[in-house]
């Protein structure tokens, strides 16, 4: 390939065997393409004449070029073989790469399927947990609602039990409903219940104290005494429900020896304790006689005359007094009864507040309940 075909060994004439036939035959070598190479001496012997140095050099150059021709013929095949080998290696590497890529794709597909299965499992788990949470929340809300309902029923029962007398003093004002509405309202000042409970205690204490007259031989027993307490309590309940600054009490105002006749119901302002009104309360089997006694009573010295509201009677006594005032034949008695009837009523009306119109039966029921 470098332009040199062979390297000849040179022998000097003094070396043994130089010039012999065997030695000259052994001087022949092979070329790169497999053909036998001849030296210049052998070439000269072949043609039968010796050559000069220049000729031998040129012949040697021609022989090298001739060998290069064979080499150039073989080189394209060698290059082609190298290209084929390279293509085979490239194809093999490509197959290996494709196989690796396919394996990676299979692995990725398996990972994707595994991820999808895991995602589906987690989604199902989350759905199950969410459903379980919703179910528990529904159960908790139902239990809480049941607890609230039970608490409300309990509160209703307790309020009605603690305010039994108060509710009977103003049956038309629906006292229990008003108190329960305030209890359930978180923004309310929560004043009705304690004030009504205190009024319940005061009324119950007064009714129980007057229950000693229930066994008395006096007219109607303890009902006339209970009637005063019921009128005052009914007025106070109305004032509390309407948030009015007034309260009614039963005071000894008339200077007489009879303890029953001394008592009147007085309405005062809670701020300055000034009297805004006062009223007599009467109840009995003979309203005409009670009216006659009432006219003969002296006026209270400590109460203003302009504050006198009149007389409050039970409903049946007021109707009986009206009938007696119309049917009495005595002119003087009739005028007296008419004057008393003119200032009489079945309920107390003062400063925009009205008491309940009691009957004797209702007063007796309330007094008996407080006396137990």
Task: Report pLDDT for 280.
Answer: 92
Q: Which residue has the tokens 């179910």?
A: 135
Residue 72 is predicted with a pLDDT of 63
Segments of 253-293 assigned E as strands:
263-269, 275-281
Phi-psi region of 34 (alpha: psi -120 to 50; beta: other; left: phi over 0): left
In which residue ranges of the chain is pLDDT below 70? 1-50, 70-76, 215-220
Taking Cα atoms as reference points, which of 258, 209, 243 lies closest to residue 229?
A: 209
Q: Give backbone dihedrals phi and psi of 276, rounded to 5 degrees, phi first.
A: -105, -10
Cβ atoms 371, 212 nearer than 8 A: no
Query: What is residue 1's predicted lDDT score, i.e. its pLDDT?
Result: 40
Q: What is the residue extent of each domain of the chain?
A: 21-85, 191-371
Spatial neighbors of 250 by CB under 8 A, at least 6 apart, are: 206, 228, 229, 232, 263, 264, 265, 266
Q: What is the end-to-end Cα distance of the chain in Å, rounded?
A: 142
pLDDT at residue 103 in the model: 93
Q: What are phi and psi of 250, to 5 degrees?
A: -100, 115
Residues 345-362 have pLDDT tens digits of 999 999 899 999 999 999
């Amino acid at each position: 390939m470098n332009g040199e075909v062979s390297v000849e060994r040179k022998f000097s004439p003094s070396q043994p065997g130089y010039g012999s036939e065997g030695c000259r035959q052994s001087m022949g070598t092979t070329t790169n393409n497999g053909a036998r190479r001849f030296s210049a001496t052998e070439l000269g012997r072949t043609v039968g004449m010796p050559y000069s140095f220049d000729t031998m050099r040129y012949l040697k150059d021609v022989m090298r070029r001739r060998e290069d021709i064979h080499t150039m013929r073989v080189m394209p095949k060698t290059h082609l073989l190298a290209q084929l080998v390279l293509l085979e290696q490239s194809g093999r590497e490509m197959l290996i790469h494709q196989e690796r890529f396919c394996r990676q794709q299979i692995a990725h597909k398996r990972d994707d399927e595994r991820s999808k299965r895991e995602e589906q499992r987690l989604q199902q788990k989350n759905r199950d947990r969410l459903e379980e949470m919703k179910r528990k929340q529904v159960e908790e809300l139902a239990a809480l609602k049941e607890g609230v309902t039970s608490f409300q029923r309990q509160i209703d029962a307790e309020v009605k039990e603690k305010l039994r007398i108060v509710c009977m003093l103003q049956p038309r004002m629906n006292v229990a409903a008003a108190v329960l509405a305030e209890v359930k309202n978180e923004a309310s000042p929560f004043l009705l219940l304690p004030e009504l409970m205190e009024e319940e205690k005061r009324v119950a204490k007064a009714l129980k104290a007057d229950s000693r007259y229930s066994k008395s031989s006096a007219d109607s027993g303890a009902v006339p005494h209970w009637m005063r307490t019921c009128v005052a309590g009914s007025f106070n309940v109305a004032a509390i429900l309407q948030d009015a600054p007034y309260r009614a009490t039963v005071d000894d105002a008339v200077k007489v020896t009879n303890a029953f006749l001394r008592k009147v119901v007085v309405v005062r302002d809670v701020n300055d304790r000034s009297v805004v009104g006062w009223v007599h309360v009467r109840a009995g089997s003979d309203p005409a006689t009670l009216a006659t006694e009432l006219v003969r009573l002296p006026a209270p010295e400590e109460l203003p005359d302009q504050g006198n509201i009149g007389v409050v009677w039970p409903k049946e006594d007021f109707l009986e007094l009206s009938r007696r005032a119309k049917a009495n034949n005595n002119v003087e008695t009739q005028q007296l009864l008419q004057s008393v009837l003119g200032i009489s009523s079945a309920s107390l009306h003062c400063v925009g507040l009205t008491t309940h119109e009691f009957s004797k039966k209702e007063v007796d029921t309330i007094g008996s309940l407080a006396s137990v």
